[in-house]
Amino acid sequence: MGSSGSRSAQKFCSRFLPEEQEEIDRLFDALSSEAPSSDASARCFSLKALKSHVGEALPLAMVTRLYDGMRGVDLTGKAKGPSDSVSQEQFTVSMSHLLKGNSEEKSLVILKMISPTEGPVKAREVQKFTEDLVGSVVHVLNYRQELRGWTQKRGSGPPARVQVLAAQLFSEMDLQGGEKLPGPQQLDCECDRATIEAWVFRAPHVATFLSVVIHRGFLLLRFSLDLATLVPERHVEQEREFESILDVLSVIFVNSHLRQEQRGRWRLLFSSELHGHSFAQLCGRITHRGPCVLLLEDHDGQVFGGFASCSWEVKPQFQGDDTCFLFSISPHMAVYTSTGYNDHYMYLNHGQQTIPNGLGMGGQHNYFGLWVDVNFGKGHSKAKPKCTTYNSPQLSAQEDFGFEKMEVWAVGDASGSQQAKSGKSILDVDPEAQALLEISGRSRHSEGLRDIPEDQ
Protein backbone atom coordinates (compact mmCIF):
# COMPACT_ATOMS: atom_id res chain seq x y z
CA MET A 1 0.00 0.00 0.00
CA GLY A 2 1.74 3.12 -1.17
CA SER A 3 -0.74 5.64 0.27
CA SER A 4 0.53 8.73 2.03
CA GLY A 5 -1.34 7.54 5.14
CA SER A 6 0.78 4.39 5.26
CA ARG A 7 4.00 6.33 4.82
CA SER A 8 2.97 8.73 7.55
CA ALA A 9 2.30 5.84 9.92
CA GLN A 10 5.82 4.56 9.36
CA LYS A 11 7.12 7.92 10.59
CA PHE A 12 5.56 7.24 14.00
CA CYS A 13 6.33 3.55 14.25
CA SER A 14 8.48 1.19 12.25
CA ARG A 15 8.16 -1.95 14.39
CA PHE A 16 6.26 -3.98 11.79
CA LEU A 17 8.07 -5.96 9.12
CA PRO A 18 7.10 -5.04 5.54
CA GLU A 19 4.86 -8.08 5.11
CA GLU A 20 3.26 -7.40 8.49
CA GLN A 21 2.62 -3.77 7.55
CA GLU A 22 0.90 -4.96 4.38
CA GLU A 23 -1.49 -7.06 6.47
CA ILE A 24 -2.11 -4.12 8.80
CA ASP A 25 -2.89 -1.92 5.79
CA ARG A 26 -5.24 -4.52 4.26
CA LEU A 27 -7.23 -4.70 7.49
CA PHE A 28 -7.46 -0.93 7.65
CA ASP A 29 -8.65 -0.84 4.02
CA ALA A 30 -11.41 -3.32 4.91
CA LEU A 31 -12.45 -1.33 7.97
CA SER A 32 -12.47 2.02 6.15
CA SER A 33 -14.02 0.79 2.90
CA GLU A 34 -17.37 2.40 3.72
CA ALA A 35 -15.86 5.75 4.74
CA PRO A 36 -17.34 8.59 2.64
CA SER A 37 -14.04 10.40 2.01
CA SER A 38 -12.40 9.97 -1.37
CA ASP A 39 -9.10 11.27 -0.04
CA ALA A 40 -6.98 8.19 0.77
CA SER A 41 -4.86 10.08 3.26
CA ALA A 42 -7.96 11.16 5.22
CA ARG A 43 -9.68 7.78 5.40
CA CYS A 44 -10.84 6.48 8.75
CA PHE A 45 -13.25 3.99 10.28
CA SER A 46 -16.01 4.16 12.86
CA LEU A 47 -16.95 2.03 15.85
CA LYS A 48 -19.84 0.65 13.81
CA ALA A 49 -17.42 -0.53 11.09
CA LEU A 50 -15.15 -2.21 13.67
CA LYS A 51 -18.10 -3.97 15.33
CA SER A 52 -19.36 -5.14 11.96
CA HIS A 53 -15.95 -6.54 11.00
CA VAL A 54 -15.31 -8.35 14.30
CA GLY A 55 -18.84 -9.71 14.56
CA GLU A 56 -19.29 -12.13 17.46
CA ALA A 57 -15.60 -12.97 17.79
CA LEU A 58 -15.22 -10.51 20.69
CA PRO A 59 -17.62 -9.11 23.29
CA LEU A 60 -18.93 -5.69 22.31
CA ALA A 61 -17.45 -4.12 25.43
CA MET A 62 -13.93 -5.16 24.38
CA VAL A 63 -14.46 -3.97 20.79
CA THR A 64 -15.46 -0.58 22.18
CA ARG A 65 -12.41 -0.50 24.45
CA LEU A 66 -10.09 -1.30 21.54
CA TYR A 67 -11.73 1.42 19.47
CA ASP A 68 -11.33 3.96 22.27
CA GLY A 69 -7.67 2.98 22.62
CA MET A 70 -7.07 3.57 18.91
CA ARG A 71 -8.87 6.90 18.63
CA GLY A 72 -7.14 8.10 21.79
CA VAL A 73 -3.70 7.90 20.14
CA ASP A 74 -2.37 11.47 19.92
CA LEU A 75 -0.18 11.77 16.82
CA THR A 76 0.57 15.46 17.25
CA GLY A 77 0.83 15.82 21.01
CA LYS A 78 -1.74 18.60 20.83
CA ALA A 79 -5.04 16.70 20.84
CA LYS A 80 -7.50 17.73 23.54
CA GLY A 81 -9.37 14.45 23.50
CA PRO A 82 -10.08 11.33 21.42
CA SER A 83 -10.79 11.76 17.73
CA ASP A 84 -14.24 11.07 16.27
CA SER A 85 -12.94 8.12 14.26
CA VAL A 86 -9.74 6.13 13.76
CA SER A 87 -7.24 7.18 11.07
CA GLN A 88 -4.77 4.88 9.40
CA GLU A 89 -1.91 6.37 11.40
CA GLN A 90 -3.76 5.89 14.68
CA PHE A 91 -4.62 2.30 13.76
CA THR A 92 -1.04 1.41 12.84
CA VAL A 93 0.52 3.06 15.86
CA SER A 94 -1.96 1.55 18.32
CA MET A 95 -1.51 -1.95 16.86
CA SER A 96 2.27 -1.53 16.98
CA HIS A 97 2.16 -0.37 20.60
CA LEU A 98 -0.12 -3.19 21.75
CA LEU A 99 1.52 -6.01 19.79
CA LYS A 100 5.19 -5.01 19.72
CA GLY A 101 5.66 -2.07 22.03
CA ASN A 102 7.38 -1.80 25.38
CA SER A 103 5.51 -1.31 28.67
CA GLU A 104 5.43 2.47 28.22
CA GLU A 105 3.96 2.26 24.72
CA LYS A 106 1.42 -0.38 25.72
CA SER A 107 0.32 1.67 28.72
CA LEU A 108 -0.45 4.68 26.47
CA VAL A 109 -3.12 2.70 24.62
CA ILE A 110 -4.32 0.67 27.62
CA LEU A 111 -4.98 3.84 29.60
CA LYS A 112 -7.33 5.02 26.80
CA MET A 113 -8.94 1.58 26.68
CA ILE A 114 -9.68 1.85 30.40
CA SER A 115 -11.15 5.36 30.05
CA PRO A 116 -11.18 7.63 26.97
CA THR A 117 -11.14 10.74 29.17
CA GLU A 118 -7.93 12.57 30.02
CA GLY A 119 -6.05 12.15 33.28
CA PRO A 120 -5.73 9.35 35.86
CA VAL A 121 -8.29 6.56 36.16
CA LYS A 122 -9.82 4.99 39.24
CA ALA A 123 -8.60 1.58 40.35
CA ARG A 124 -12.16 0.25 40.02
CA GLU A 125 -12.03 1.17 36.31
CA VAL A 126 -8.81 -0.83 35.96
CA GLN A 127 -10.48 -3.75 37.74
CA LYS A 128 -13.42 -3.69 35.30
CA PHE A 129 -11.04 -3.48 32.33
CA THR A 130 -9.15 -6.52 33.65
CA GLU A 131 -12.35 -8.54 33.97
CA ASP A 132 -13.37 -7.57 30.42
CA LEU A 133 -9.92 -8.54 29.13
CA VAL A 134 -9.87 -11.98 30.78
CA GLY A 135 -13.44 -12.67 29.71
CA SER A 136 -12.58 -11.69 26.13
CA VAL A 137 -9.74 -14.22 26.02
CA VAL A 138 -12.08 -17.08 26.92
CA HIS A 139 -14.70 -15.75 24.53
CA VAL A 140 -12.45 -15.47 21.48
CA LEU A 141 -10.67 -18.79 22.06
CA ASN A 142 -14.03 -20.50 22.36
CA TYR A 143 -15.40 -18.68 19.29
CA ARG A 144 -12.35 -19.59 17.19
CA GLN A 145 -12.46 -23.18 18.56
CA GLU A 146 -8.95 -22.92 19.96
CA LEU A 147 -9.48 -24.13 23.52
CA ARG A 148 -7.22 -27.11 22.65
CA GLY A 149 -9.41 -29.64 24.41
CA TRP A 150 -10.16 -27.60 27.53
CA THR A 151 -13.53 -26.13 28.43
CA GLN A 152 -15.10 -23.09 29.97
CA LYS A 153 -15.99 -23.80 33.60
CA ARG A 154 -19.70 -24.42 33.92
CA GLY A 155 -19.84 -24.15 37.69
CA SER A 156 -22.83 -22.45 39.24
CA GLY A 157 -21.38 -20.78 42.33
CA PRO A 158 -19.36 -17.56 42.46
CA PRO A 159 -16.73 -16.42 42.02
CA ALA A 160 -16.32 -17.31 38.35
CA ARG A 161 -12.84 -18.19 37.12
CA VAL A 162 -12.85 -15.02 34.98
CA GLN A 163 -13.23 -12.90 38.10
CA VAL A 164 -10.67 -15.00 40.00
CA LEU A 165 -7.94 -14.62 37.35
CA ALA A 166 -8.83 -10.95 36.84
CA ALA A 167 -8.45 -10.40 40.58
CA GLN A 168 -5.02 -12.06 40.48
CA LEU A 169 -3.89 -9.77 37.64
CA PHE A 170 -5.34 -6.71 39.37
CA SER A 171 -3.50 -7.61 42.58
CA GLU A 172 -0.22 -7.10 40.70
CA MET A 173 -0.92 -3.38 40.57
CA ASP A 174 1.04 -1.25 43.05
CA LEU A 175 -1.44 1.19 44.56
CA GLN A 176 -0.58 3.97 46.99
CA GLY A 177 3.09 3.06 47.24
CA GLY A 178 2.40 -0.61 47.91
CA GLU A 179 0.15 -0.10 50.92
CA LYS A 180 -2.60 -2.68 51.30
CA LEU A 181 -5.78 -0.65 51.70
CA PRO A 182 -9.26 -2.04 52.48
CA GLY A 183 -11.27 -3.04 49.41
CA PRO A 184 -13.46 0.05 48.90
CA GLN A 185 -10.59 2.46 49.62
CA GLN A 186 -8.29 0.57 47.27
CA LEU A 187 -10.78 0.83 44.42
CA ASP A 188 -11.03 4.58 44.89
CA CYS A 189 -7.28 5.08 44.36
CA GLU A 190 -6.18 6.99 41.27
CA CYS A 191 -3.89 5.30 38.75
CA ASP A 192 -1.79 7.50 36.49
CA ARG A 193 0.17 6.45 33.43
CA ALA A 194 3.25 5.51 35.47
CA THR A 195 1.11 3.18 37.61
CA ILE A 196 -0.38 1.50 34.53
CA GLU A 197 3.05 1.20 32.92
CA ALA A 198 4.50 -0.47 36.02
CA TRP A 199 1.50 -2.82 36.15
CA VAL A 200 1.90 -3.87 32.52
CA PHE A 201 5.58 -4.57 33.16
CA ARG A 202 4.89 -6.51 36.38
CA ALA A 203 1.93 -8.53 35.04
CA PRO A 204 2.93 -9.86 31.59
CA HIS A 205 -0.42 -11.64 31.19
CA VAL A 206 -2.03 -8.24 30.52
CA ALA A 207 -0.01 -7.77 27.32
CA THR A 208 -0.30 -11.45 26.38
CA PHE A 209 -4.07 -11.42 26.72
CA LEU A 210 -4.33 -8.24 24.64
CA SER A 211 -2.28 -9.98 21.94
CA VAL A 212 -4.66 -12.96 21.98
CA VAL A 213 -7.67 -10.64 21.71
CA ILE A 214 -6.20 -8.76 18.73
CA HIS A 215 -4.62 -11.69 16.90
CA ARG A 216 -7.66 -13.95 17.25
CA GLY A 217 -10.39 -11.31 17.38
CA PHE A 218 -9.25 -9.40 14.28
CA LEU A 219 -7.55 -12.43 12.67
CA LEU A 220 -4.53 -10.15 12.37
CA LEU A 221 -0.95 -11.49 12.24
CA ARG A 222 -2.42 -14.56 13.94
CA PHE A 223 0.48 -16.87 13.09
CA SER A 224 2.90 -14.68 15.05
CA LEU A 225 1.25 -15.77 18.33
CA ASP A 226 2.08 -19.30 19.45
CA LEU A 227 -0.99 -20.42 21.37
CA ALA A 228 0.68 -23.73 22.21
CA THR A 229 2.79 -22.09 24.93
CA LEU A 230 -0.27 -20.33 26.37
CA VAL A 231 -2.85 -23.12 26.22
CA PRO A 232 -1.39 -26.65 26.33
CA GLU A 233 -2.94 -29.44 24.30
CA ARG A 234 -5.16 -31.60 26.51
CA HIS A 235 -4.54 -35.33 26.08
CA VAL A 236 -6.67 -37.99 27.76
CA GLU A 237 -6.04 -41.70 27.19
CA GLN A 238 -8.24 -43.24 24.52
CA GLU A 239 -10.18 -39.98 24.36
CA ARG A 240 -12.09 -40.89 27.53
CA GLU A 241 -14.40 -38.00 28.31
CA PHE A 242 -14.70 -36.48 31.74
CA GLU A 243 -15.14 -33.01 33.18
CA SER A 244 -11.82 -31.87 34.58
CA ILE A 245 -11.47 -29.75 37.68
CA LEU A 246 -9.52 -27.40 35.42
CA ASP A 247 -10.93 -24.99 32.89
CA VAL A 248 -8.99 -23.10 30.23
CA LEU A 249 -8.25 -20.08 32.45
CA SER A 250 -6.87 -22.11 35.36
CA VAL A 251 -4.75 -24.12 32.91
CA ILE A 252 -3.39 -20.90 31.39
CA PHE A 253 -2.53 -19.61 34.86
CA VAL A 254 -0.70 -22.72 36.07
CA ASN A 255 0.91 -23.37 32.68
CA SER A 256 2.48 -19.90 32.67
CA HIS A 257 4.58 -20.86 35.71
CA LEU A 258 6.14 -23.90 34.02
CA ARG A 259 9.31 -24.00 31.97
CA GLN A 260 8.86 -23.27 28.28
CA GLU A 261 9.41 -26.87 27.18
CA GLN A 262 6.68 -28.10 29.55
CA ARG A 263 3.89 -25.84 28.31
CA GLY A 264 2.82 -27.43 25.03
CA ARG A 265 1.03 -30.59 26.16
CA TRP A 266 -0.65 -31.91 29.30
CA ARG A 267 -1.33 -35.67 29.52
CA LEU A 268 -3.75 -37.07 32.09
CA LEU A 269 -2.07 -39.64 34.34
CA PHE A 270 -4.68 -40.07 37.03
CA SER A 271 -8.25 -38.99 37.68
CA SER A 272 -10.27 -40.24 40.64
CA GLU A 273 -13.31 -40.08 38.34
CA LEU A 274 -11.77 -42.38 35.72
CA HIS A 275 -9.38 -44.54 37.76
CA GLY A 276 -11.14 -44.82 41.11
CA HIS A 277 -10.54 -43.72 44.67
CA SER A 278 -7.42 -45.77 45.27
CA PHE A 279 -4.06 -44.64 46.58
CA ALA A 280 -2.44 -47.73 45.05
CA GLN A 281 -3.85 -46.72 41.64
CA LEU A 282 -2.56 -43.20 42.15
CA CYS A 283 0.96 -44.47 42.91
CA GLY A 284 0.94 -46.87 40.00
CA ARG A 285 -0.10 -44.25 37.50
CA ILE A 286 2.07 -41.26 38.48
CA THR A 287 5.46 -42.77 39.37
CA HIS A 288 8.33 -42.43 36.86
CA ARG A 289 6.24 -40.22 34.56
CA GLY A 290 8.26 -37.01 34.68
CA PRO A 291 7.14 -33.54 35.84
CA CYS A 292 3.46 -33.26 36.59
CA VAL A 293 0.72 -31.09 38.06
CA LEU A 294 -1.60 -32.51 40.71
CA LEU A 295 -4.74 -30.85 41.94
CA LEU A 296 -7.67 -31.50 44.23
CA GLU A 297 -11.11 -30.08 44.88
CA ASP A 298 -12.11 -30.38 48.53
CA HIS A 299 -15.63 -30.91 49.81
CA ASP A 300 -16.01 -27.14 50.26
CA GLY A 301 -15.26 -26.48 46.58
CA GLN A 302 -11.76 -25.04 46.99
CA VAL A 303 -9.31 -26.06 44.25
CA PHE A 304 -5.56 -26.26 44.85
CA GLY A 305 -2.54 -28.38 44.03
CA GLY A 306 1.16 -28.55 43.34
CA PHE A 307 3.75 -28.88 40.60
CA ALA A 308 6.24 -31.74 40.91
CA SER A 309 9.36 -30.87 38.93
CA CYS A 310 10.56 -34.47 38.53
CA SER A 311 9.19 -38.02 38.53
CA TRP A 312 7.46 -39.24 41.64
CA GLU A 313 9.08 -42.24 43.31
CA VAL A 314 7.76 -44.36 46.17
CA LYS A 315 10.43 -44.03 48.86
CA PRO A 316 10.75 -42.81 52.47
CA GLN A 317 12.88 -39.76 51.58
CA PHE A 318 11.89 -36.32 50.33
CA GLN A 319 12.51 -35.70 46.62
CA GLY A 320 12.22 -32.91 44.04
CA ASP A 321 13.96 -29.54 43.78
CA ASP A 322 13.33 -25.84 44.26
CA THR A 323 11.38 -25.48 41.02
CA CYS A 324 8.44 -27.30 42.63
CA PHE A 325 5.60 -25.10 43.81
CA LEU A 326 2.15 -25.15 45.37
CA PHE A 327 -0.80 -23.20 43.98
CA SER A 328 -4.40 -22.22 44.55
CA ILE A 329 -7.08 -21.97 41.85
CA SER A 330 -10.24 -21.29 43.83
CA PRO A 331 -11.38 -19.19 45.63
CA HIS A 332 -8.31 -17.22 44.45
CA MET A 333 -5.39 -17.85 42.11
CA ALA A 334 -1.87 -17.76 43.49
CA VAL A 335 1.45 -19.62 43.17
CA TYR A 336 3.75 -20.32 46.13
CA THR A 337 7.38 -21.05 45.32
CA SER A 338 10.32 -22.41 47.30
CA THR A 339 11.57 -20.42 50.27
CA GLY A 340 14.90 -22.25 50.51
CA TYR A 341 14.20 -23.01 54.18
CA ASN A 342 14.30 -26.79 53.59
CA ASP A 343 14.22 -29.32 50.75
CA HIS A 344 10.90 -30.97 51.62
CA TYR A 345 9.54 -30.46 48.12
CA MET A 346 7.91 -33.84 47.36
CA TYR A 347 7.15 -36.97 49.35
CA LEU A 348 5.49 -40.24 48.30
CA ASN A 349 5.45 -43.33 50.48
CA HIS A 350 3.39 -46.50 50.81
CA GLY A 351 3.53 -49.67 52.89
CA GLN A 352 5.74 -48.38 55.72
CA GLN A 353 5.02 -48.96 59.42
CA THR A 354 6.91 -46.17 61.18
CA ILE A 355 6.61 -43.13 58.88
CA PRO A 356 3.60 -41.52 57.19
CA ASN A 357 2.11 -43.18 54.12
CA GLY A 358 0.74 -40.80 51.53
CA LEU A 359 1.67 -38.02 49.13
CA GLY A 360 2.91 -34.70 50.43
CA MET A 361 4.43 -31.43 49.31
CA GLY A 362 6.12 -28.93 51.63
CA GLY A 363 6.35 -28.68 55.40
CA GLN A 364 7.20 -31.81 57.35
CA HIS A 365 5.74 -35.15 58.40
CA ASN A 366 2.20 -34.73 59.71
CA TYR A 367 2.35 -30.99 58.90
CA PHE A 368 2.47 -30.82 55.11
CA GLY A 369 1.55 -27.81 53.02
CA LEU A 370 -0.41 -30.32 50.93
CA TRP A 371 -1.05 -33.91 51.99
CA VAL A 372 -3.06 -36.75 50.43
CA ASP A 373 -3.42 -39.64 52.87
CA VAL A 374 -3.01 -43.30 51.97
CA ASN A 375 -6.63 -43.51 53.13
CA PHE A 376 -7.71 -41.96 49.83
CA GLY A 377 -10.23 -39.16 50.12
CA LYS A 378 -8.59 -37.54 53.13
CA GLY A 379 -5.82 -34.97 53.38
CA HIS A 380 -4.57 -31.90 55.17
CA SER A 381 -3.04 -28.50 54.50
CA LYS A 382 -1.31 -27.27 57.64
CA ALA A 383 0.26 -23.84 57.57
CA LYS A 384 0.54 -21.98 60.85
CA PRO A 385 0.97 -19.35 59.65
CA LYS A 386 2.77 -20.44 56.45
CA CYS A 387 4.24 -23.65 54.99
CA THR A 388 8.00 -23.52 55.65
CA THR A 389 8.92 -24.95 52.24
CA TYR A 390 6.68 -22.85 50.00
CA ASN A 391 5.45 -20.00 52.20
CA SER A 392 1.91 -21.05 51.27
CA PRO A 393 -1.14 -20.48 53.48
CA GLN A 394 -3.71 -23.17 54.21
CA LEU A 395 -4.90 -24.18 50.74
CA SER A 396 -8.05 -26.07 51.73
CA ALA A 397 -11.14 -24.66 53.40
CA GLN A 398 -10.57 -26.92 56.41
CA GLU A 399 -7.15 -27.84 57.75
CA ASP A 400 -8.11 -31.54 57.61
CA PHE A 401 -10.17 -31.92 54.48
CA GLY A 402 -12.05 -34.54 52.52
CA PHE A 403 -12.13 -34.73 48.75
CA GLU A 404 -13.75 -36.66 45.92
CA LYS A 405 -11.90 -35.21 42.94
CA MET A 406 -8.17 -35.51 42.30
CA GLU A 407 -6.25 -35.27 39.02
CA VAL A 408 -2.61 -35.58 38.01
CA TRP A 409 -1.37 -34.29 34.64
CA ALA A 410 2.08 -34.93 33.16
CA VAL A 411 3.43 -31.81 31.47
CA GLY A 412 5.55 -31.63 28.32
CA ASP A 413 6.38 -34.64 26.17
CA ALA A 414 7.36 -37.86 27.92
CA SER A 415 10.84 -39.22 27.21
CA GLY A 416 11.31 -42.82 26.18
CA SER A 417 12.85 -43.72 29.53
CA GLN A 418 9.86 -42.28 31.39
CA GLN A 419 7.48 -44.30 29.24
CA ALA A 420 9.44 -47.48 29.84
CA LYS A 421 9.55 -46.96 33.60
CA SER A 422 5.84 -46.20 33.69
CA GLY A 423 5.16 -49.80 32.65
CA LYS A 424 5.67 -51.02 36.22
CA SER A 425 3.06 -53.30 37.75
CA ILE A 426 1.06 -51.89 40.64
CA LEU A 427 2.74 -54.59 42.75
CA ASP A 428 6.05 -52.78 42.28
CA VAL A 429 4.76 -49.72 44.08
CA ASP A 430 2.36 -51.43 46.47
CA PRO A 431 4.30 -53.55 48.99
CA GLU A 432 1.05 -54.15 50.87
CA ALA A 433 -0.45 -55.89 47.84
CA GLN A 434 2.69 -58.01 47.46
CA ALA A 435 2.49 -59.09 51.10
CA LEU A 436 -1.19 -60.05 50.84
CA LEU A 437 -0.46 -62.28 47.87
CA GLU A 438 2.41 -63.99 49.62
CA ILE A 439 0.41 -64.52 52.86
CA SER A 440 -2.45 -66.10 50.92
CA GLY A 441 -0.02 -68.46 49.21
CA ARG A 442 -0.91 -67.21 45.75
CA SER A 443 1.80 -66.75 43.15
CA ARG A 444 2.48 -63.45 41.40
CA HIS A 445 1.30 -64.35 37.90
CA SER A 446 1.90 -60.80 36.78
CA GLU A 447 5.60 -60.99 37.64
CA GLY A 448 7.50 -59.87 34.58
CA LEU A 449 4.35 -58.83 32.75
CA ARG A 450 3.69 -55.15 32.27
CA ASP A 451 0.92 -53.10 30.74
CA ILE A 452 1.77 -51.22 27.57
CA PRO A 453 2.22 -47.54 28.49
CA GLU A 454 -0.78 -45.52 27.44
CA ASP A 455 1.25 -43.14 25.27
CA GLN A 456 2.65 -45.94 23.11
Question: Lowest-confidence range among 179-183, 278-282, 286-290?
Answer: 179-183
User: What pTM was computed for the model?
Assistant: 0.85
What CATH number does the domain containing 92 carry? Answer: 1.10.238.10
Tell me the C-alpha distance between 261 and 276, whole Å. Answer: 31
Whether residue 108 has pLDDT greater than 80: yes
Residue 361, in any domain of the structure: yes
Confidence band, pLDDT 50/70/90 cuts, at residue 36: low
In total, how many domains does the chain have? Answer: 2
Same domain, 171 and 211: yes
Cis previous bond, 232, omega within 30 = no
Please tell me the predicted confidence (pLDDT) of residue 222. Answer: 81
Closest by CA position to 434, among listed 272, 280, 279: 280
DSSP 3-state of 319:
strand
Give SS3 for 87.
strand
| 46-102 pLDDT tens trace | 999 999 999 999 999 999 999 999 999 988 777 778 889 999 999 999 999 999 999
Q: What is the mean pLDDT of residues 400-405?
A: 96
Residue 186 lies in a domain: yes
**Distance from C-alpha of 63 to C-alpha of 217, rounded to nearest angstrom:** 9
Are 98 and 207 in a shared domain?
yes
Please indicate, yes or no, whether residues 203 and 307 belong to a single structural domain of this protein.
no
Residues 220 and 260 in one domain: no
- Picking from 191, 414, 375, 382, the residue whose alpha carbon sits closest to that of residue 280 is 375
On the question of pLDDT at 283 being above 70, the answer is yes
In 10 A of CB 78, how many CB atoms?
6
Q: What was the pLDDT predicted at 434?
A: 47
Burial letters 148-179, b for 16+ CB under 10 A, else e = bbbebbeeeeeebbbbbbbbbbbebbebeeee
- Residue 179 has what pLDDT? 58
Q: Does position 149 have pLDDT exceeding 50, yes or no?
A: yes
Q: Say what angle helices 123-143 and 60-71 make with each other, to 10 degrees.
A: 120
Of 190-204, 376-390, 436-450, the poorest mean pLDDT is in 436-450
Indicate the pLDDT class of residue 352, thresholds 50, 70 and 90: confident
- Report whether pLDDT(145) > 90: yes
Both 65 and 195 in one domain: the answer is: yes
207 and 262 in a common domain:
no
Q: Supply the range of the domain harboring residue 293.
A: 253-439
CB atoms within 10 A of CB 122: 15
Q: Are residues 206 and 304 in the same domain?
A: no
Contact 336, 326 (CB under 8 A): yes
Asked if residues 292 and 286 have their Cβ atoms less than 8 Å apart, the reply is yes
Do 362 and 412 lie in a common domain?
Answer: yes
| Residue 119, number of CB atoms within 10 A of its CB | 9
| 8 A C-beta contact, residue 306 and residue 325 | yes
Same domain, 189 and 274: no
Q: 267 and 198 share a domain?
A: no
| Whether residue 272 is found in the same domain as residue 195 | no
- Residue 455 CB-density burial (10 A; 0-12 exposed, 13-18 middle, 19+ buried): middle
Higher per-residue confidence, 113 vs 181: 113
